[in-house]
Amino acid sequence: MRTLRLRAALPALAGAALLTGTLLSTPAQAAGTVQIHRVYFDSPGKDTRSNSSLNGEWVQLKNTSRSAVSLKGWILKDASNHKYVFPNVKLGAGKYVKVHTGSGRDTTSDKYQGRRAYVWNNTSDTATLTKSNGSKVDTCSWTTRNGSDKYC
């Protein structure tokens, strides 16, 4: 009789353990934390390499959690391994930040890589966001030109 009760209880215990693991994860983990939201890979107009044209190319990140996330040391890179390392930046809950290719003055909503050449390929590329420890946070890829941007 005791064995029968134990067998009947095992599926419920396994389900409870699985649910407990989900509930005990941090709110940021459950919500997905920071995501690549949009990539504007083809700046408007001719590709002149002017600073305004370079800054027309950007990647926008969104913090989907309910609390601020430190991006210090996080890396945003393309398939060719052009890297942007975030300085001591906190992204507020529900907030966005754009990382522009060219030069400019950093603000809470706009960061600048300071490059003099385009990073994101118009026909195909992959934007990858990793934490400072190398763990992958998110990626966004495009393989054909579909307008000039992609929502991820």
Q: What is the pLDDT of residues 64-91, one digit of tens each?
A: 999 999 999 999 999 999 999 999 999 9
Tally of structural domains, the chain: 1
| Token reading at 51 | 């600073």
pLDDT for 147: 74
Residues 6+ apart with CB under 8 A from 84: 75, 76, 77, 99, 111, 113
Tell me whether residue 15 is in a domain: no
Tell me whether residue 144 is in a domain: yes
Number of CB atoms found within 10 A of residue 86's CB = 20
Tell me whether residue 7 is in a domain: no
Give the domain extent around 57.
34-151
Tell me whether residue 23 is in a domain: no
Nearest residue to 39 (alpha-carbon basis) of 121, 134, 135, 131: 121
**pTM for this structure?**
0.79
